[in-house]
Amino acid sequence: MKLPTPACDKATKFATQKLLMNIKYIFYSLLIFAAVYCTSAGITGCAQIGTPTGGPRDSIAPVLVSAIPAEHKTNFTGNKIELIFNEYIDLQEVQTNVLVSPYPKVNPNISYKLRTITVKIRDTLLPNTTYAINFGNSIKDLNEGNPYKNYTYVFSTGSSIDSFKLSGKVLLAESGKTDSTIIAMLYRNAPDSAVEKRKPDYIARVSKDGSFTFTNLSGGTYKVYALLDGDGGKTYNSAIETFAFADSDIIVSDSTKPITLYAYAAEKDVKKVSATTGNTKTPADKKLKYTTPLSSGAQSLLSPLQLIFAKPLKKLDDKRIILTDSSYRTIPGVTITLDSTNTIINLATKWQEDFNYRLILNSDAVADSLGNQLARTDTIKFRTKNKGEYGALVLRFTKFDAAKHPVLQFFRGEEMLRSIPITSTSWSDNLVEPGEYELRILYDDNNNGKWDPGDYKKKLQPEKAVTLTKKLAIRANWDNERDIEL
């Protein structure tokens, strides 16, 4: 007796579910008919219409019934492939979901109708080469959208199917995090310049955890890269593109170990905002306006007081900006500077705890490029926080190695708030702003106090950082402690 295959069992289960759903719809239609008849005939006591129970929601993915030519076909010479499923299917986002390896110069034409997917190959196939068409999650059933996950059709133009794999992980060097929009790229027997001049031989998706796998490879020498492809060209052609490279060629065999790539952008992507020009101004434009980030009137003991202007300043007379106490006695030792954007004035001093200050900002202290000044002289009243509004923090480090130049970094979102070199097995601070922080450990190879990107021309890898999985929550007036393994 011939035993049923798993595919047959799944198809039988699927057919049974479909039959139950059809019975359910017929039963529901009969109930509606009966209710309408009872109402028109004036008959009371008829059964109430309700949702019939039974018949689970269809949660079964489509089943591949056959492939023409058959899967893992060798000595392939055709240009057409048909995949036939057990139910009507939908094929979604082919351009982004389907990957062909080796990467073709001309993408195949992929279409579907009813239960069949048709692949028409438009590129010249290489001799003695194993090809893989990975559909990702693009194949779904028509009614419920259940995906046929990560299906790959494999064939070979030679007499055998290559089966070697190369797996690895891509991490963002500056943070240690992952980015699933990055792609991994593989070049066979190629010079270093190939990644800048032509498309790769193989492409693999990077998953949410940063991992990737190249499959159905032949043995040999490869170069492996990762790229956040900004222009879709599949080449590394811009310093602002996130990019990673292996230190040396990879020999692919049955004993090849996974690799880790560290991605970086050689230059920051600074969006240039064009200045608005013109002579048309409303009366409000003729006076400068500013804001202060004072929270509930309280100034931090740890940072300068900031005056943020809507327009860049051309003139700053620091003698016309005066910091005093509540009795208007001038405070000595005040430093006033303008930031690089010419829009933020920083006023720094050694703030006294829980102290009332006055800042006198004369109308002629600042002016923009058109000579516009403040509408009037302002006096800003504020107090400083007291030490009880801060938290105390003690961090203890295990596996401390001074030779690696570790640096502790505090982040909130993408903004780095503090960067502190770790010089011993513990660090403490009695004045830490309450809130939640993301902590990173940067291994500062050149000991310059900041993260440095890599340089592919010089084969220089980027400096590496690790983001701690557990965030740091600081409570006011509280002793906060934590152990960190480096």
Q: Are 262 and 464 in contact (CB under 8 A)?
A: yes
Q: Are 378 and 322 in contact (CB under 8 A)?
A: no
Is 164-263 a CATH 2.60.40.10 domain?
A: yes
CATH topology of domain 389-485: Immunoglobulin-like (2.60.40)
Q: Are 39 and 47 in contact (CB under 8 A)?
A: no
Euclidean distance between CA atoms 467 and 471, whole angstroms: 9
Mean pLDDT, residues 360-387 taken together: 94
- C-alpha distances in angstroms, 100 versus 76, 183, 205, 259? 16, 14, 11, 22
- E strand or H helix at 441, and its extent? strand 435-443
Euclidean distance between CA atoms 120 and 107, whole angstroms: 9
Mean pLDDT, residues 252-273 taken together: 87
CATH topology of domain 64-147: Immunoglobulin-like (2.60.40)
Q: Per the structure block, which two tokens stand in for 329?
A: 């006695």
List 368's β-bridge partners, or say none: 313
Q: What is the pLDDT of residues 395-434, one digit of tens each?
A: 999 999 999 999 999 999 989 999 999 999 999 999 999 9
CATH topology of domain 283-385: Immunoglobulin-like (2.60.40)
pLDDT reading at 249 higher than 80:
yes
pLDDT reading at 38 higher than 60:
no
pLDDT reading at 272 higher than 90:
no
What burial class does residue 133 get, using C-beta atoms within 10 Å of its C-beta: 0-12 exposed, 13-18 middle, 19+ buried? buried
pLDDT of the residue at 295: 65
pLDDT of the residue at 154: 97
Domain locations in the chain? 64-147, 164-263, 283-385, 389-485
Question: What are the residues whose beta carbons fall under 8 Å from the beta carbon of 220, sequence distance 6 or more?
Answer: 188, 189, 251, 252
pLDDT reading at 36 higher than 80:
no
Under the banding of pLDDT at 50, 70 and 90, the label for residue 292 is: very high
pLDDT reading at 66 higher than 90:
yes
pLDDT reading at 271 higher than 50:
yes
pLDDT reading at 58 higher than 80:
no
As a whole-number percent, the residues of the chain with pLDDT over 70 amount to 84
Q: What is the pLDDT of residues 440-458, one digit of tens each?
A: 999 999 999 999 999 999 9
Euclidean distance between CA atoms 165 and 163, whole angstroms: 7
List 197's β-bridge partners, or say none: none
Under the banding of pLDDT at 50, 70 and 90, the label for residue 91 is: very high
- Would you say the pTM of this structure is higher than 0.85? no
pLDDT of the residue at 393: 95
pLDDT reading at 233 higher than 80:
yes
pLDDT of the residue at 7: 45
pLDDT reading at 187 higher than 50:
yes
Euclidean distance between CA atoms 113 and 77, whole angstroms: 24
pLDDT reading at 47 higher than 60:
no
